[in-house]
Amino acid sequence: MWSAAARTATASVSTGAATLSRRRLHGGRDVRARAVTRGRRRGRDARGVAPRAAASADEKDSSDCCGDDPGHEDDSKEPSKAMGGYADTAGALVDAAGDVVCPIDESAFGAPPWDPANGDDPISNETLLKIVLSQVPDREVNELVWEALGYVKSIELDMETLEGEEVWSPDNVFPKWKAAYPEPPDVIGVRRKYWPEIDAPVKAACAALTRSVAEEHKAGIKTTLRHYGWKGFRMDGLTPNMTRRAQVANWLLYYRRELRGVSIEELKRRREERRKREEAENKTAAPTGTTKQGVV
């Protein structure tokens, strides 16, 4: 199923890939510090998103867990006449074949770049690639998302059993997300049981997370991981778990670029500026990617 380039990339990230250190997730900064996207669209064309379908009849509902899917291959591009390609919504110059010509300038986004003094970035491109290639356990993927959202893990001692119990505090969680999810939700489906009575809460949480990604970042994961040989999933053999991994990886990339390391006050200021632009552009009714669906 994977291209030769993707298999080569998989081998390369298996050695020296970024660690999943939770202690360094927020770069040593206040975990409450966040930022929202500045909504930059310099020379960027709008891109369509390929429709999604279930991997099987039993998985129909869950494979369509979110309305925006960054994990499927999409050929609906408008090539630039001057460059023979197009400017991707995430800021990379992509040629007509869909390959990245110029690397993405990470400094162009709203969040400060990762400080190498804090060690390896736990949300590095190599880690994101491992997530979409199913090389990171479901539980660890969930925990990466929870910590990015602001949940804080601690261990409490059960006095009856004298065993440690894992507890996640929502004290530092983004305001709107905290109101909806005072406890961290499963966004992957670790049980991999797709009956509605089991999977409905997972499906809803995944959808909420994905809708919160700003419009111009919807295809960020595909553009970023093309450099590593990953161009998205094909419909044949697609499962709900694969779809959700791509969606979660895309949200983590969005968080890394726009929501990490900026104060909550600045976050609110940018949200208000963006809301005014949405009103001016008549986008307030959009079902995804606006300030109404954001986590703040």
Q: How far is residue 169's CA from residue 260's CA, in Å, rounded to a whole number?
A: 19
Q: How far is residue 114's CA from residue 125's CA, in Å, rounded to a whole number?
A: 12
The reported pLDDT for the residue numbered 195 is 95
Rounded mean pLDDT, 228-256 = 94
Rounded mean pLDDT, 228-257 = 94
36 in Cβ contact with 274 (< 8 Å): yes
The reported pLDDT for the residue numbered 275 is 95
Residues of the chain by 3-state class (helix, strand, coil), percent to 5: 40, 10, 50
Q: For the chain, what is the mean pLDDT?
A: 76
Rounded mean pLDDT, 226-243 = 91
Range of the domain at 229: 4-293
222 in Cβ contact with 100 (< 8 Å): no
The reported pLDDT for the residue numbered 158 is 79
DSSP class of 226: G
> Which are the contacts of 206, defined by CB distance < 8 A and separation ≥ 6?
65, 66, 187, 188, 244, 247, 248
The reported pLDDT for the residue numbered 26 is 46
Q: How far is residue 229's CA from residue 132's CA, in Å, rounded to a whole number?
A: 12
Residue 280 gets the label, from left (phi > 0), alpha (psi -120 to 50) or beta, of alpha
Q: How far is residue 13's CA from residue 230's CA, in Å, rounded to a whole number?
A: 13
What is the band of 264 on the pLDDT scale with cuts at 50, 70, 90? confident
Please check the confidence at residue 289 and state whether its pLDDT lies above 90.
Answer: yes
Rounded mean pLDDT, 267-275 = 95
Domain count, the chain: 1
pLDDT digits (tens, 9 = 90+) for 137-148: 999 999 999 999
Rounded mean pLDDT, 216-243 = 92
Please check the confidence at residue 254 and state whether its pLDDT lies above 50.
Answer: yes
Question: Any idea what the CATH number is for the domain that residue 55 is in?
Answer: 1.10.418.90
